[in-house]
Amino acid sequence: MDLNYTADELAFRADVRAFMKAKLPTDIAAKGASGEALNKADMDLWHARLNEQGYLAGAWPKSFGGAEWSAVQKHIFEEETAFAHAPRIVPFGVGMLAPVLQAFGSKEQQDYYLPRILSGEDWWCQGYSEPGAGSDLASLKTKAVRDGDHYIVNGQKTWTTLGQFANKIFCLVRTSSEGRQQQGISFLLIDMDTPGIEVRPIILIDGVHEVNEVWFTDVRVPVENLVGKENMGWTYAKYLLTHERTGIAGVGFANAGLASLKRVAKTEMHHGRPLIEDPHFAARLARIEIDLMAMATTNMRVVAGADAGAAPGAESSMLKVKGSIIRQQINDLARRAVGPWAIPFVSEDLDSNIYHPGPDYSAKASNTYLNNRKISIYGGSNEVQRGIITKAILGL
């Protein structure tokens, strides 16, 4: 038992921290700290700087030009990203599609797509969920029918995060209705410029355009855009779900959020004293901090296990449930902390010329709280995760 990082890991952390200090533009960090949405230019710039440093492909295998970070290194990078209020790596290309292509894609697909992911030439989005297929993803209905050298795709995807910026989408589509639902699904790469694709914005509860609906009407996709084998898409999707799991607990975000919350609570006044000295508030805060201390170690136990070769399977469901609850509790307390300043509701995507009247730190407290209700829903809702825990860990 040893709770300390190795000298190499500490050196890696120092490198990442120095990089953040040198390369993260202050305006982007300020947006990150206040919870303001980033625009595409912000995200593109950060993507490019990470790529120059070799950090973008940090988690990729060396055979694909990556740095093959250990799970502990990935965790350190995520922690430092959150600590610096840097944008997280947009995961769809780098963290989600790339591992699938590396494991199941053809040589041609790997050679063509992987460099374009790193260069930023391609911005990928994810076509998984459908209006009728949420937690029951395998019931998806978007259909791909073979027609010579093409698939003809018809259907609708939803919750497509940042799809408005994407030029490519990887989709789960139904290629067979025989056998179990899971057996008739294929993994297709689709160009967003293809005729018949329409992207419609969905404005979320915090007033932000973050997700979209994507409609497919007789969209012709070349057969070489199939990843792996036809009807094997569910296997690839599941591989993806178990792949990038070190960050699932969101400990870095939670630590950064808690630090911001403490700063706010030292500034806001209550009965003439800093809010942080109010016993009721202090008790709520302390309880979250105590949970987070245990969560950080729970996370590291799973991360260290992953480095030792144990696949973090169902344990990551535990991390997701508890990690999302802790983050939501921090957001909840951050909203309470700003008091009545939580009431003015200003969102750039709704009204670009209205400014929040309160202190800067209060402007996004409600918006962030509302937006992060998503984290116990997406990626398999907490109820789905409890189902996985029940079967895989508890054997019930």
Q: What are phi and psi of 61, to 5 degrees?
A: -65, 155
Contact flag: residue 386 with other proteins (CB under 8 A) = yes
Q: Enumerate residues 6+ apart whose C-beta is below 8 A from 328.
A: 369, 372, 373, 375, 376
Applying CB under 8 A, which part among 98-106, 163-171, 187-195, 387-395 lies near other proteins?
Answer: 387-395
Contact flag: residue 311 with other proteins (CB under 8 A) = no
Contact flag: residue 173 with other proteins (CB under 8 A) = no
Provide the minimum distance between the beta carbon of 62 and other proteins in the complex, in angstroms, as a whole number: 23
Total chain residues near other proteins (CB under 8 A): 39
As beta bridge partners, residue 143 has 154, 174
Q: Which of these, 337, 350, 330, 222, lies nearest to 276 by C-alpha position?
A: 337
Q: Which of 21, 238, 301, 350 binds other proteins (CB under 8 A)?
A: 301
Distance CA 203, CA 210 (A): 7
Neighbouring C-beta atoms of residue 244, cutoff 10 Å:
17
Select 227 or 384, whichever has its Cβ closest to other proteins.
Answer: 384
Q: Is the sign of the CA dihedral 355, 361, 364, 365 positive or negative?
A: negative
Provide the minimum distance between the beta carbon of 85 and other proteins in the complex, in angstroms, as a whole number: 23
Contact flag: residue 192 with other proteins (CB under 8 A) = no
Contact flag: residue 7 with other proteins (CB under 8 A) = no
Contact flag: residue 200 with other proteins (CB under 8 A) = no
Distance CA 320, CA 350 (A): 31
Q: Find how far residue 313's CA is from the centre of its chain.
A: 18
Q: Strand, coil or helix: what is 394?
A: coil
Contact flag: residue 377 with other proteins (CB under 8 A) = no
Contact flag: residue 14 with other proteins (CB under 8 A) = no
Contact flag: residue 318 with other proteins (CB under 8 A) = yes
Radius of gyration of the chain (CA): 22
Q: Enumerate residues 6+ apart whose C-beta is below 8 A from 384.
A: 135
Q: Which of 213, 244, 289, 348 is labelled catalytic?
A: 244
Applying CB under 8 A, which part among 46-54, 190-198, 231-239, 278-286 lies near other proteins?
Answer: 278-286
Catalytic residue IDs: 244
Binding-site ranges for other proteins (CB under 8 A)? 1-6, 9, 72, 282-283, 285-287, 289-291, 293-298, 300-301, 304-305, 318, 321-322, 383, 385-387, 389-390, 393-396
